[in-house]
Amino acid sequence: MKNKIKTLRKQSNMTQEKLSKLCGVSRQTINCVENDKYDPTLELAFKISRALDKNVEEVFMYDKIS
Amino acid sequence: MKNKIKTLRKQSNMTQEKLSKLCGVSRQTINCVENDKYDPTLELAFKISRALDKNVEEVFMYDKIS
DNA sequence: TCATTGTGTCCAACGTTTTGGACATTTACA
DNA sequence: TGTAAATGTCCAAAACGTTGGACACAATGA
């Protein structure tokens, strides 16, 4: 699983802190998801994507391998 | 969060058991996700969607409320 | 240079997803 | 009608996402 959170977040001039508040989660959570530390919940994936004004599949790329 | 798993699964003539094996998870997991018992992992959401030959957002509907 | 902000990371705790095993109920069909 | 398949559900345990708090380091700009 790959994601474009960092890129899209910077395009929107947002910090991890700001994004985390928009999503209602902690900054560590955003940091970990952004850096592929773990798989987010589907609901969180939706929240992040919406905060970045994108569809889930525009933010997260599923690569069948692992 | 709503989903169309049951409908799409039946359109593909699949049992929960078959879908669970395609996704590499237990049948209970498919059952619970299908009946909104809990939020799946994003990776599982992708696996389910792909098994049903759909995009994530064609299978799962995020309704901002709760 | 210094101060501030943003990011990465650690930890232990907590909550939720996911599990196998088992059983009751419903559905489908001979 | 009866039989098997499919589904719903319970439990306790395991696995994993998420948390606050804290700290180090990098980046930014005055």
pLDDT of residue B66 exceeding 80, the answer is no
CATH fold group of domain A2-61: 434 Repressor (Amino-terminal Domain) (1.10.260)
B-chain CB neighbours of A23 within 8 Å are none
In tens, the pLDDT along A20-59 reads 999 999 999 999 999 999 999 999 999 999 999 999 999 9
| Residue appearing with tokens 């759909």 | B54
Chain A nearest CA to B11, separation (Å) = 23
Could you tell me the maximum CA-CA distance found in chain B, to the nearest angstrom?
A: 32
For residue B64, name the pLDDT band (cuts at 50, 70, 90).
confident
Protein residue closest via CA to C1' of C16: B38
Q: How far apart are CA A63 and CA B61, in angstroms?
A: 22
Amino acid at A37: K
In tens, the pLDDT along B7-57 reads 999 999 999 999 999 999 999 999 999 999 999 999 999 999 999 999 999
Q: Which of residues 6-65 of A touch strand D (CB under 7 A)?
A: 24-26, 28-29, 32-33, 38-41, 44
Tell me how crowded residue A37 is: count the other CB atoms within 10 A of its CB. Answer: 10
pLDDT of residue A66 exceeding 90, the answer is no
B12 by Cβ neighbours in 10 Å (0-12 / 13-18 / 19+) ranks as middle
Residue B62 half-sphere exposure toward CB, CA atoms < 13 A = 21
Among B46, B13, B15, B16, CA closest to B29? B16
In tens, the pLDDT along A10-21 reads 999 999 999 999
